[in-house]
Amino acid sequence: MQPIKNFIQALANLPISISLRNALGVRPKYYKEPPMDYSVSDLFFWRSDEIWRTRFDLLNLPSVLYPENNISDNATLIFYDKRGKEFCRKQITIPSFQTRAIEIENIVGNNAGYGSMACFHEVLDDSQPASPQTCIVERGFVAYRRVTDVSPLWSYIHGSALVLAKPPGRDQVQTTRNSLGKNILYQPQLSLSDCDRFDLIYINPNDDDLVINIRALDRTSQVIREELEVLPPRGVKCFSLDNKDRTIYRVENESCAYMWRPFILKYYETHFDIFHS
């Protein structure tokens, strides 16, 4: 029976079978598994203008994976604007076990505003094993602050999970997400009734346009506001909602993307808070 079972599993994991499974919602497969020599990155949200500052703490990850070797890390930062258009690539070499604090405003220049970014790691020499046992995955944290705030402290948040993959020595990147044929409802498990306003920030993780439906709900789960938006690949949409009357208690979103959870930015009188739901 084992050969038959193995044959069925192999058949079910063919690309055409996965597409059919995802379209019908039958044991869908949400992620594509890149080869082990690929570098994988979250998609991170950056924001840089006259008020906002963004910082990315870049760590030499290969030296953490292979501490016995003296590894230099060739990190590639890729920046996209809010429409998902790539406008900048920057390569930074990091010595073994070192970090670099990357101030985003020094990179984006005239492209002030907001968008998404990814970070890929590649070993510069032959000190990485010829057959790596894992992908190098960038799941680090991005820090934010407003120049108008009294506090000098930064607020940290990680990226949008495991979105892009890049093969070694090549420029192109690809999504790790599979397309789905049906909408998935996501409901952040928190109350939004404690602040005057908040932002919901979404990054499209797919290679195709994604339609997202945002609903604001009151305390009795009645819809009091609804917005529909189409996001291009790597594109970012920031929904700003006024809540001075405290009628919005929670939100939900619906789309053909698995676990499309937003960055949530709450504004308070003296500070802000940014987090995933």
Residue 263, strand partner residues: 201, 276
CATH number, domain 39-175: 2.60.290
Q: Which amino acid is at 231?
A: L
Exposed / middle / buried, residue 226 (Cβ in 10 Å: 0-12, 13-18, 19+): exposed
What's 184-276's CATH class? Answer: mainly beta
Starting at the edge strand found earlier in the chain, the sheet holding 99-103 runs: 99-103, 52-59, 141-146, 155-158
The full set of domain ranges for the chain reads: 39-175, 184-276
Give me the residue label for tokens 């192109």: 172
Neighbouring C-beta atoms of residue 225, cutoff 10 Å? 15
Print pLDDT tens along the chain (277 aa).
566 665 556 665 656 665 666 665 666 666 788 888 899 999 999 999 999 999 999 999 988 888 888 888 999 999 999 999 999 999 999 999 999 999 999 999 888 899 999 999 998 766 555 566 778 899 989 999 999 998 889 999 988 777 899 998 899 999 988 777 788 899 999 999 999 999 999 999 888 999 999 999 999 999 999 999 999 999 999 999 999 999 999 999 999 888 888 999 999 988 999 998 7
CA nearest neighbour of 265 among 59, 101, 116, 47: 47
- Domains 39-175 and 184-276 agree in fold: yes
pTM of the model: 0.88
